[in-house]
Amino acid sequence: MKPTYVVAISGASGVIYGVRLLKALVQTPCRVILMVSQGGFRVLAHEMGFTPEKDLQQFLVNQGVVCHSQSAIEIFCETDYAVSPASGSFVHSGMVIVPCSMKSLAAIATGYADNLISRSADVCLKERRPLILVPRETPLSLIHLENMTRACRAGATILPPSPSFYAAPATVEALVDTITARILDHLNVRHDLVPRWCHGTT
């Protein structure tokens, strides 16, 4: 049975990470349930040129998100409360919020499940399913740090988008891939996006 992944794009800078993750996931046989917040749509428009009047599925194809013959993406907005991941009875292979806004982080850390994204994350925590948060903010206030700690203690993985440079990435896309690769690792998805660090001995 092919895996199902839940991906959410919230209203923080760095939506390129979410789009790149989608591209990597659907190159393998899988089902992806994509959730986009109202803020996420606004950032997609500002940072990647998405026009709200156009079809998001086609926009993703134009960004190189082309599905494997056995893959599919289902798209929902944050007000679609009845979607499967909002129920604890729905089993999936992990959820990623990328980028994760401080608002979404605060909702998750405090159990304030007021939309599809925060409710689905809340379900991951209570059902002990993988939940990866990619928080995009700097600098971080004490409130942000405490919310990350609270979410981590509840079972979430906090994966800040801090690109690595040991492979000498030459493009923005290559930098983005260093984060996408770490997300895929935590989802147990095999990939060859970036070389593994292997320090030789003398």
The CATH code of the domain that includes 90 is: 3.40.50.1950
> DSSP labels for 66-113?
---TT-EEEEEETT-TTSGGGSTT---S-EEEEEE-HHHHHHHHHT--
Does the annotation list 148 as a binding residue? no
Does the annotation list 136 as a binding residue? yes
Residue 195 lies in a domain: no
Question: pTM value?
Answer: 0.95
Does the annotation list 141 as a binding residue? no
Does the annotation list 182 as a binding residue? yes
Residue 197 lies in a domain: no
| Low-confidence residues of the chain: pLDDT under 70 | 199-202
Show the domain range for 162. 4-186
Q: What was the pLDDT predicted at 78?
A: 94
Does the annotation list 101 as a binding residue? yes
Does the annotation list 103 as a binding residue? yes
pLDDT tens for 155-198 read 999 999 999 998 889 999 999 999 999 999 999 999 988 888 77
Residue 191 lies in a domain: no
Instruction: Assess contact for 132 and 97: CB atoms under 8 A.
Output: yes
